Chain A
Amino acid sequence: MTTNSIGAVATEYFTFAEDEPFCLESGETLQPVTLAYETYGALNADRSNAILVCHALSGSAHAAGRLDGDPDKLGWWEDTIGPGKAFDTDRFFVICSNVIGSCYGSTGPASLDPATGKPYGLNFPVVTVGDMVRAQVALIDHLGIDKLLCVAGGSMGGMQVLEWAAHHPQRVHAAIPIATTAHHSPMLIAFSEVGRQAIYADPAWQHGAYYDKAQKPDAGLAVARMVGHITYLSEESMHLKFGRRLQGLEKYGYEFETEFEVESYLKYNGHKFTQRFDANSYLYVTKAMDYFDLTQPTGTLAAAFAAATHVKFLVISFTSDWLYPSYHSTQLVSALTATGVDVTYLDVKSSWGHDAFLLEVETMTNLLSSFLDRLVREERVAAPAGYALHTRLASAGAPVLPRIHLADNLA
């Protein structure tokens, strides 16, 4: 075992709202709703060791392991979820579900509209982060979990974390919002809109009715992704990653081909994205983020967490993240402190911009695993059946004993 991976995993599906429609914040309804989800590890006897991780804009339910055993399909938070990792699957039952509006198995604009038998396209109702989270609540109910040990996620995943804490506080012991905001800023809305405009401007978009066409709005979606990628980096990380280096050239060609490495990177990632993401989903999910504002309706952030005073927070931001600058997190921390919430906060020094939340693995692992150890102690969380004593001791900081994993015991 070289990477401590959870191993082969499979995506599961949960369908609800078949009889009663699922009401959305917009006033519209969805019926039925399917959520794609994955789980790792095992529930303990009193179902108190469940952790929900929430994905970002383009993520999926596949957070860890090798999807269907394929070694090329590693989870998006592979470094953080697995045996002995920050979200230790020997100790915790980790759940990740694809948000509604997305395109990885959960109901979204590419799903079939039961009224017409065709893909929804733009007939899909606009969803919000609040709607995404209420769908997750239905999944947690379905899994028989009364209260999550914690909800964690970065970027849009962090918005879902805050939504859980603010509007479903009785369902969570702890919240870990990372590199995120409690209210989407005008700059963030502006970047979302540039991405959407790129998609609208692609003639192949056809007002969202392209699912039966040979040509998809790939050019528009690729540009949207390129803009996104710029915002996930920092000026410093672009210097480090690309500099002014040329891609496969000795000198300037004085022409409009891809010359600089940074151009090549954006072009490659833009193109790669079109092979895995749906343009309409990009519109819906970015719109959901733009609507996110926990200061409403009272105008103050502290009021949003008035019922969440028991929730323990670990808030993490990154010094070079200019998309969700650290002041968004310090404002959140101030509001939580004023409400009397137990909040731990660190602005991690990093050069990697917004992407740091997936890249600063060592610091993140230190923070997450220590915080989870504390939760386990304070909430008296039992380990799942079959969890080796040695593992428990080693993870609690006792350095002397070798780790023995459940899988090894069974082998």
Chain B
Amino acid sequence: MSTQPVSPISVQTPQLRPDLLAIADLIAPGVRVLDIGCGDGALLEYLRDRKQVKGRGIELTEAGVLACVRRGLSVRQGNVQEGLADYPDQSFDAVILSQTLPFLDDPAMVLGEMLRVGRTAVVSFSNWGHWRCRLELLITGRIPVAVDLPQQWYESPRRQPFSVTDFARFCRKIGITIDRQVYMNRGLRVRTGRFKNLLSTTAVFTLHRRVEA
């Protein structure tokens, strides 16, 4: 009979995707978090186990919901594109949207809902403004795939490529302030200086609603 000690609760945390780890670093301990499009729940599990965060998730796929339930998370099947109408105003400290922005029909609506429901929004997205994308279009004449989102246009759901600069302009237009910024290049945080758009493959931002003076 094997007597090796085994903890009743799974303690091994598998390697978290780098942009999710960057998001987790931006979340304060013990806060209330809503992760929309939470996938298999890896981030919510990490936040619960490492930061005692009270997390909820929304996920479209059955496989994702089942994986989240298996991790002991509170998750609700739903489509983020339909908005967050059921959630009361300011009921979360942070609302997370990771690697989903290019797939949204109406990103302004979703970001607006995130900042209605949460005090802060945290987003991560792939940057098509990276120099490799620019070079690929220039040299090969092919529409580039994002470095951190390498599926071809025919392999993934319909998406709108955009860059860090595009997103910053968009935020200004819809009255959202970009607060904390983390830039990554193929999973590693990078110092980009003035060349954020040129040198980052993925950006992670916290967003707030602009306070009118």
Contact = CB atoms under 8 A, between A and B. Distances in A.
A363 B9 CA distance: 22
B6 A366 contact: no
A247 to B, nearest CB: 36
B6 A337 contact: no
Given A367-B66, A400-B2, A344 B72 contact: no
Nearest to A315: B76
Contact of B69 (A342, A349, A371, A400): A371
Interface in B35-83: 56, 62, 65-66, 69-78
A333 B77 CA distance: 10
Contact of B77 (A347, A363, A366, A401): A347
B14 interface: no
B39 to A, nearest CB: 15
Interface stretch (A52-60, A76-84, A391-399): A391-399
Interface string A357-395: 000000100110011011001000000000000001100
Interface residues of B, number: 26
B44 to A, nearest CB: 12
B157 interface: no
Contacts of B91: 340
B88 interface: yes
B212 interface: no
A374 B72 contact: yes
Contacts of B87: 337-338
Contact of A398 (B8, B70, B74): B8
B76 A344 contact: yes
Nearest to B65: A346
A230 interface: no
Contact of A346 (B9, B62, B72): B62
A371 B71 CA distance: 9
B86 interface: yes
Contacts of B2: 400-401
Most buried by A among B74, B85, B91: B74
Given A348-B62, A398-B6, A340 B88 contact: yes
A320 to B, nearest CB: 14
Nearest to B70: A370
B76 A397 contact: no
Interface string B1-33: 010101111100000000000000000000000
Contacts of A401: 2, 6
Contacts of B76: 333, 337, 343-345
A124 to B, nearest CB: 41
Most buried by B among A335, A343, A370, A393: A370
17 contacts: A334-B86, A335-B86, A337-B86, A338-B86, A340-B91, A344-B73, A344-B76, A345-B78, A363-B66, A367-B66, A370-B69, A370-B71, A374-B73, A393-B8, A396-B10, A398-B8, A400-B4
Interface of B: 2, 4, 6-10, 56, 62, 65-66, 69-78, 85-88, 91
